[in-house]
A and B are shown apart, each in its own frame.
Chain A
Amino acid sequence: MKWLRKILFAILLLGTNQLLAAADFEKANQAYMDEAYEEAIAMYAELIEAGYNSPNLYFNLGNAYYKTGQIGLSILHYEKALKLDSSRKDVKHNLKLAQQQTVDNVEALPELFFISWWNHLLSMRSSNKWAVYTLVFLWLAMVLYLIHKWTKSYSTLKILGHISIVFAVLMLILSWSKYRQEFNTDFAIVLASSVKVMSAPDTKSTRQFTIHEGLKVKVTDQVKGWSLVELEDGKQGWIQSQSVELI
């Protein structure tokens, strides 16, 4: 019975931890409402430090940064919130407002229509949800096949089983793509107010252009303290890694 007690204790500990975290979250929210944004930022950051993450947590932290005028950090945390839940309208709204305050206006290359459809579809559910759907369709197919075999009739069941398999495969692809999106660290937000983009990972190389706080860039390569970044319009260059933070 020793192991049972251990498990119970672990559950209890987890429970109290959750309760404490919830209280901290509320405190931080209260600080935000009292317009003590710096305090709120510290408290939200502590929660993240403690291993918690949630769309609301990142969203609120982003708001607090926004209120203190730290646009780069606020955009970073909005993006983090969207990474967890890309369907959040309030996050998107605030992100848009924050982006309006940034200097750079990079025109994104136009997306092909089916890619934007795909991205839209992906954004509807989390990777875990898609994975659950995969399992549901897969098992549904199995059950359908089984009934078909046993009764040796109802060929429609067989067709339905095939359809279920197709769906399961689709869900698996969606889940996998979403997983890639959720856990990739390809994108970063510029936090320094102004960053020179160089042609090589070397301060002596020529400067190609300058980017500013709040810009989202794709990090395609990293070499000791330097990151190769790509802008949404396709421009590329090297910047010092400390001036950006990965989403």
Chain B
Amino acid sequence: MIRLRENKIGNRLWAVLLLLAMPCLIFAQEKFYLKAATTAVVGQNYKVSYILENASGSNFTAPRYFEGFQVLSGPNQSSSFQWINGKTTQSIEYYYILRPVEEGEFELPAGKIQVKGKILETETIRVNVKQGHQPTQAQQPTQTQKTQPQSTGGGDWRQVAKDNLFVRLYVDKNNPFEGEQITLTAKIYQRIQSYNTQIIEFPDFKGFWKQDYDASGNQWQDEEYQGQYYKTLVIGKYALFPQREGTFTISPFKLRTILRVQDDAAQTGSPWDWFFRPQYKEVEYEFSTSSVTVNVKPLPSAGRPANFSGAVGNFTLEASLDSSELKVGNATTLKTKISGTGNIMLMQKPRIDFPRELEVYDPQVQENISKTANPISGSYKADYLIVAAEPGNFIIPPVEFSFFDLKSQSYKTITSSSFELHVKGDKPVATTPVLGKETVEYLDTDIRFIALKNDLKKQTTPLLESAMFYSLMAGAPLFLFLLLFVRKKLEENRPDLMQKRNKMAGKVAQKRLKTARNFLEKQDRKGFYNELVKAMWGYVADKLSINTAHLTKQNVTDKLAYRNVSEEKSQRLIQLIEKCEMALYSPVSGEEMMSDFETAGQIITEIENEVA
């Protein structure tokens, strides 16, 4: 409470006089009385004082109850010292601040006090309480400032503070759409001095998405409110976006401040008081806003597009492709930008179905929200990096974005144009490594279903344990040898083959002799005799159908005899063969080789002639 101190100088003067007069102070007669106004107005504070003068009392019996009044504070105690015209008065005051609650006549009860062993009692006072004609004084604080209200004690500073310092919480719209911005403001109104004001409790914004406006640079302003001028300061401003339909209550702000109020004890206005105790004290004062109720309407369901983004406000869409011609392996960027006013940070971002052949990376996103514009505005930028992996012509479908337009109260869909992308070049042989791919996680959570096909089998002996396997293994080479053996046997006894050999024997021998002659010319003894022996042996073998295995000299002689070849001839043949075999290993003269050659020829011819 502010008390104007016009009589400051006077007070000082009194103080000086008091000091001078101190030694000659005389105390007056003791006295205990009730002091109160006989009329009061409903709702206006009313002071009741029990005053003890010139005595020190004890055991003041305070009335607990005043009929027709509400006790705002008390009993409070204050003492004062007065010196008027050489007469000093010391007084102790016990006072109450009451508030009349109804009209009528009421009696203020008597107070009792014990002074030097005897009980003093005040008389009672009848008070006439009337209905006030005008708004209560507290609502017109100007008066409080100008004229000192009669019965206003220091105790009712709360009421004064309440009227002169308050904070309002209000929204610009009480009935918004879901997603539509409302602006919530908390503003201090004050006409008295306060210090160190702090917000001790912020509201609960349940059901809203909140975006703070920057309140740090706000200035005090003059504002008229309900006919009064106040200093005002916006302490909080929020853009709130209702998240769903329904009725939501924003709980109050709570603040705490420190006020300088007049000290109750200095009530008497005596210079003594001023001298001995401070006239003002600092008190802590808590005050709060009311709560605010917002009724959120749902967005209309009629005409809602399937791809509705949840955005409410007014938006524009821009989309552009950096280049429409590309080489395989190169990259381009699709830039999209949505800007406008509304709940841009809450909307669902548009999705683009790129052709599968293009490698598209997660977009680079930039959100830009203005913190000062009301309503909130901003932009959402998404840049998609597109890498052309394959050649071809691709069409990137248009970017679509739909929102609820507040102005026309209807849904709107904005669409960019579609983009053509021409990729030239050859398909790369090796795929370029794609960064940031993760290995496929094993996501199956349930086992595969049972196999229904019946594949039951009795346990059988494995092939490797069976005799059949081993017999088949062993059988293979046996089979081979058997067949080869049988064939050999058959071959030996085939007459047609023998006849052929028989017929050919002479020719074969002639061929061999020819080869031998070549060796003779070269004087190659070994080659010559080798060929000669072969010619003769071969001839008899073929001619007589003798198997090489049975080709012995005895056998040959026998067979030749059997074929009616003379003993002498066969003897000559054998001798020549023996000689030739010998000559293979011993030196022989050129003439001898010549004669052996001729003899061999003769004998073969003779035998050929004799054996038909």
Contact = CB atoms under 8 A, between A and B. Distances in A.
A54 B476 contact: no
B473 to A, nearest CB: 6
B476 A52 contact: no
A141 B463 CA distance: 21
A52 B457 contact: yes
Contacts of B476: 135, 138-139, 141-142
A66 B459 contact: no
A57 B456 contact: yes
Question: What band does the interface of chain A fall in when counting residues whose beta carbon is under 8 Å from B?
Answer: 35 or more
Interface residues of B, number: 30
Most interface-central of B446, B447, B477, B479 (chain A CB within 10 A): B447
A67 B447 CA distance: 9
A145 to B, nearest CB: 6
A132 B462 contact: no
Q: Which of B449, B453, B464, B472 has the most chain A CB atoms closer than 10 A to its own CB? A: B464
Interface stretch (B145-153, B176-184, B241-249, B480-488): B480-488
- Most B CB contacts (10 A, CB to CB) among A53, A131, A139 go to A131
Contacts of B447: 63, 66-67, 93-94, 97-98
B484 A54 contact: no
B469 interface: yes
B458 interface: yes
A56 B455 contact: yes
B442 interface: yes
Interface in B437-470: 442, 444-459, 462-464, 469
A138 B473 contact: yes
Contacts of B464: 127-128, 131, 175-176, 179
Interface string A16-38: 00100110011001001000000
Interface in A35-63: 47, 51-57, 59-60, 63
A3 interface: no
A60 B451 contact: yes
A108 to B, nearest CB: 17
A22 B457 CA distance: 10
A28 to B, nearest CB: 9
A182 interface: yes
A146 B456 contact: no
For A57, A64, A132, the residue with the greatest tally of chain B CB atoms inside 10 Å of its CB is A57
A90 B451 contact: yes
Contacts of B452: 29, 56
B450 A55 contact: no
B448 A94 contact: yes
Contacts of A63: 447-450
A150 B448 CA distance: 58
A53 B444 contact: no
A172 B452 CA distance: 34
A21 B455 CA distance: 10
A118 B487 CA distance: 43
Given A53-B457, A63-B450, A127 B480 contact: no
27 contacts: A18-B456, A22-B454, A25-B454, A29-B450, A51-B458, A51-B459, A56-B451, A60-B451, A63-B448, A66-B447, A90-B448, A93-B448, A97-B445, A127-B463, A127-B464, A128-B462, A128-B464, A131-B462, A132-B463, A135-B476, A138-B476, A142-B479, A145-B480, A146-B480, A146-B484, A150-B487, A183-B462
Pairs of residues from A and B, 10 with the lowest C-beta to C-beta distance, nearest first: A131-B463, A56-B451, A60-B450, A94-B447, A54-B455, A90-B448, A128-B463, A52-B456, A142-B480, A179-B464
